[in-house]
Amino acid sequence: MKIIIAGAGEVGTHLAKMLSKEKHDITVIDSNSKKLKLLENHTDVLGIADNAVSPSALKDSGVGVADLFIAVTQNEETNITSSLLAKKIGAKRTIARIDNKEYLEKINNDIFKDLGVDSLIYPQKLASEEIIELLKQTGISEKIDFYKDQLSLYVIKLEENAPILNKSLSDVSKMSVDLNYRAVAIYRDNKTIIPKGGDVFKLNDLVYTISTKIGVKNLLEITGRKNIDIKNIMILGGSRIGKQLAKVLQKNFTVKLIERDFDKCEKLADELDNTLILNGDGSDTELLLEEGVRKMDAFIAVTENSETNILSCLLAKRFGVKKTIAEIENIDFIDLAEDIGIDTIVNKKLIAASHIYSYTLSAEVTSFKMLTGTDAEVLELIAHVNSKIVGKPLSEIKFPSNAIIGGIIRDNNSIIAKGDTIINSNDKVVVFSLPDAIKDIEKFFK
């Protein structure tokens, strides 16, 4: 696949690194020659130091014969304009990152499609939706739903009260009569493990489990986690994500939002009629205590500063808040934040990259997600009549060792995968995978 990426920021760089490993023909356009040089030194990509809205630069990149053009610069106008030009020059498909949710309204989205922008990605909206979903399941670190919530991936950190500590996967499978869940990975010491029967669960493991709706209660019990009732929420940061969260959450919860910029506070107060807006620094211990942080059920830090989000969540945790969520844009900080006790990490760049990456897969992929804090991915694929995965028990299929099938959705029914499970055509199959197995997985579903 020939892919042109406009923008060598974190999203563009992350995509370029992933896609180049899969032997795609990648060209990156960015006006910052130093960023491009660094990227070229570490990945097999071609860099063009120029403005992405330059027709000559686009033509030099080979966009006229490109299968996919991805515009993810920091400037929304650049992304839209370069996508329009790329489509006119000959790119088969174009994707633009935007910062204005109004563009996603159907009437506006249709206009962009008519002009030549096939898909719009709004990371702030995707991140806020993810946070809202996490507040529905407070006992977990991360949750990804597949096909109308028939199956879900739950990420749970094992603490000292977890009944499965020091037990093997085989031992745990005997603890339940009906297994409506399946552990598909363990993240430990910065390494992702696809578990076998003899692998033992240890303290502070992040366990990735595919579960049906029925299995969730039992899953929380064996991992020692409990859902808490959320009533009071404190949001730090009046960013686009913070405002979007408050707008949704204020309908059902008591919400306080802290923002240090006074002018922004005034604007937020005009737009959020049922949220208490507070002007101040969220890393100020006295302010948090004065505003009742001890009474909060959840604390969500979504300022534009990762360090502030980490520090404020740690303070909230110290004061007894049971659910803390931090937006962390510096990918290097994610492992650190998880290690020191923050419940959930959200990275809008990884969320955006997940949505974009799915367009590069040749198999029919209906859902794809890069997981926060690990190099793994989870995807939902559709099996077809002639797919290699169809018609044999899973135990007889030589599936990639760095991947595992977690479950199947068939005729609106969810099935947890076992060795004797047979996949039929039109089944939706949920697969957990390390990056180097993605291309091999695709071969089973084509």
Which pLDDT belongs to residue 350? 85
Q: What sign has the CA pseudo-torsion 391, 393, 394, 397?
A: negative
The dihedrals phi and psi of 309, each to the nearest 5 degrees, come to: -65, -40
Tell me phi and psi for residue 326, to 5 degrees: -125, 130
Stated pTM of the model: 0.84
> Which DSSP state fits 215?
T
Pairing of strands 191-193, 181-188: antiparallel
Residue 177: its pLDDT value, please?
A: 66
Residue numbers of the chain with a pLDDT score lower than 50: none
Q: Which residue has the tokens 């060792």?
A: 401
pLDDT tens, residue by residue, 224-243: 988 888 999 999 999 999 99
The pLDDT of residue 207:
94
Sheet with 323-327, strands from edge to edge, namely: 275-279, 254-259, 232-236, 298-301, 323-327, 344-346
- Which domains does the chain possess? 2-121 (3.40.50.720), 145-222 (3.30.70.1450), 229-321 (3.40.50.720), 352-445 (3.30.70.1450)
**The pair of three-digit structure tokens given for residue 280, joined into one six-digit string:** 């101040």
383-423 confidence digits (pLDDT tens):
999 999 999 999 999 999 999 999 999 998 999 999 999 99
Structure tokens at 365: 């992929």
State how far Cα 428 lies from the chain centre: 20
Position 397 scores a pLDDT of 94
Sign of CA dihedral 391, 392, 398, 404: positive
In this predicted structure, what is the pLDDT of residue 341?
A: 81
> Residue 257: what pLDDT?
97
